Amino acid sequence: MRLLVFVLALAACTSTAPPTPTETVCPDPDPGTLTWDSFGQKFMTDYCTMCHSSALSRTQRNGAPYAHDYDTLKSVLYIPDHIDADAGSGPAAHNTHMPPDRCPSTPGGALDRNCAKPTDEERTNLSLWLACERNRPHTF
Amino acid sequence: MAMSGHHHGASELALGVSLEAAEFDTAYYAGSYQGIAPSVGWMSGRLGASAAIGLYHITENGLSRYGLGDAMVTGHVTVVASDALDAGMALHLMWPTGSETAGLGMGHAMAMPSVWATWQPQPVTVHATAGYGRALIALDGGHDHGLMPLVDPMNMQELTWSAGAELAVGHGVRVGARTAGGIPIGAGAMRMIGAGRVAWGTPRITTGVELQLGVAGDPFTLRGVVDTALRF
C-alpha cells in the first residue's frame, strides 16, 4: 500500500497534460491576416527550426522527430495538428510542450541557451494561422 | 514477475531488479536507451500483486535525457491450480510517470486486463497470455499517437498476447524462447518481439539474461535484459 501511495504521489509530481488539440476554428470567411509570409515563417524561425529543420541529420536534431521539419510551409502543413497540440493555444487547450527549456544557438548545435518562448498571443495566433492555412489552396 | 502459482497457500515476497539496454530506429527516432527497473512482488495463496518502475537514460535523435518511465502495478489471481497447470487472470495498471515528450511514457494511464496460463510438463514449461490494453482517456479526443513510448511502445487500444516455453537443462539452468506483441484496435500498428532467454538459480534467487529482437512495429532493433529476483 505504501508503494502504491508513493507511485501515485510520484505520478502527481511528474505527469503533465498531454499535447491536446486546441480546436481552434478559422473564421468564415478567412480573414487572411495570418499567413506563412506574415506570421508562420517568422514563428518557425524564431522558435522551431534550430532543431526542426530538413537540413539536420537525425543526430543533429536534439531530439526533434525525423520528418517533423518546419522550414517550409509544405512541411508545416504535413503535421499541423501535431504543431497545434504541442505549441498552440485555443479554446480547448493552452499547449506549452514546445519549445523546450534548452535550445541550441546554432542549428544542430549543443543545447547551450534557454529557449525563447512564444507569448500567449503568439501561441493563439499559431493555432489560428494553422486552422486557416490548412484550408487555403496551395500549389505544392 | 512470473504469475505461475508455485506456492499455493504460501506467502512470498519478491524483490527484483531489471537492467536493460536497447537500440531503436523508428520512422521518427533513432537512438538507444538504458534502464534499471526495481520491482516488488507479493503472493499469498492464489492472490498476488507487484509493482515496478523504470529509470532511463535515453538518446533520441541526438538528445540525451534521463527520466522515469511509466509505473506499473499488477494484481493477479490464480483460478486453476494443479501440479501441471496454473491459469488465472491479471490486471495491469500503468500510471503516466514517464514523460511523453521524452519518449519515456504513454502520457496517460493504461489498463490492461489479461488471462494467463502456465503448463509445466517437466522439464518443459509453456506459458501464454492474452489480454486487452486501453488508454484511460477518450479515444476520440485527438490524442492518438500510434505506438508510444520509445522505451516500451504500445497502441492506445490493442489486443495483447505472449507465448513462450522454457526447458530445464539441469543444475538450476533453464533456457527458453518467447514472443509477445499487440494488435491495434482502430488506429495504430502491430507490434511484436521475439526473445531468447537463459535463467539460472534456486527457488530463492534467480537471474536471467534475455536477448530480444524487434520483429514488427519498431519497438527496438535489439534489446538486452538482465533480471534478478530474490524471494522471501
| % of chain B at pLDDT higher than 70 | 93
> What is the C-alpha to C-alpha distance for residues A37 and A27, in angstroms, rounded to an integer?
19
Among the partner-chain residues A7, A10, A64, the one whose CB lies closest to the CB of B61 is A64
When the pLDDT of each residue in chain A is averaged and rounded to a whole number, the result is 89
Q: Does B192 touch chain A (CB under 8 A)?
A: no
When the pLDDT of each residue in chain B is averaged and rounded to a whole number, the result is 92
> What is the C-alpha to C-alpha distance for residues B67 and A96, in angstroms, rounded to an integer?
19
Summarised one tens digit per residue, pLDDT across range B14-60 is: 999 999 999 999 988 999 999 999 999 999 999 999 999 999 999 99
Among the partner-chain residues A8, A14, A58, the one whose CB lies closest to the CB of B30 is A58
Question: Which residue of chain A has the CA closest to B39?
Answer: A3
Summarised one tens digit per residue, pLDDT across range B145-159 is: 668 899 999 999 999
> What is the C-alpha to C-alpha distance for residues B44 and B215, in angstroms, rounded to an integer?
37
Q: Does B101 touch chain A (CB under 8 A)?
A: yes
pLDDT at residue number B140: 67
Summarised one tens digit per residue, pLDDT across range B66-79 is: 999 999 999 999 99
Where along chain A do its domains lie? 2-133
Where along chain B do its domains lie? 11-231
**For residue B165, which of B129, B134, B130, B125 has the smallest C-alpha distance?**
B125
CB contact under 8 A, B142 and A85: yes
CB contact under 8 A, B61 and A20: no
- Using the predicted structure, report yes or no on whether residue B123 has a pLDDT greater than 80: yes
Through-space distance between the first and last CA atoms of chain A, rounded to whole angstroms: 58
- Within 10 angstroms of residue B55's Cβ, the number of other Cβ atoms is 15
Angle between helix axes A120-133 and A80-87 (nearest 10 degrees) is 160
3-state secondary structure of A26: coil
CB contact under 8 A, A66 and B61: yes
Per-residue pLDDT, averaged over B198-227, amounts to 95
Name chain B contacts of A59, Cβ cutoff 8 Å.
30, 61-62
Residue type, A29: P
> What is the C-alpha to C-alpha distance for residues A79 and A87, in angstroms, rounded to an integer?
12
Residue numbers of chain A with a pLDDT score lower than 50: 1, 3-4, 6-8, 10-15
Its pTM stands at 0.82
For B11-231, CATH gives 2.40.160.40
String of DSSP letters for A74-139: HHHTTSHHHHHHHH-B-SS-B---SS-SEEESSTT--EEEEPP---HHHHHHHHHHHHHHTTS---
- Using the predicted structure, report yes or no on whether residue B1 has a pLDDT greater than 70: no
Q: Which residue bears the cell 498571443?
A: A121
- Partnered with residue B170 across adjacent β-strands are B173
pLDDT at residue number B144: 58
DSSP 8-state code for residue A83? H
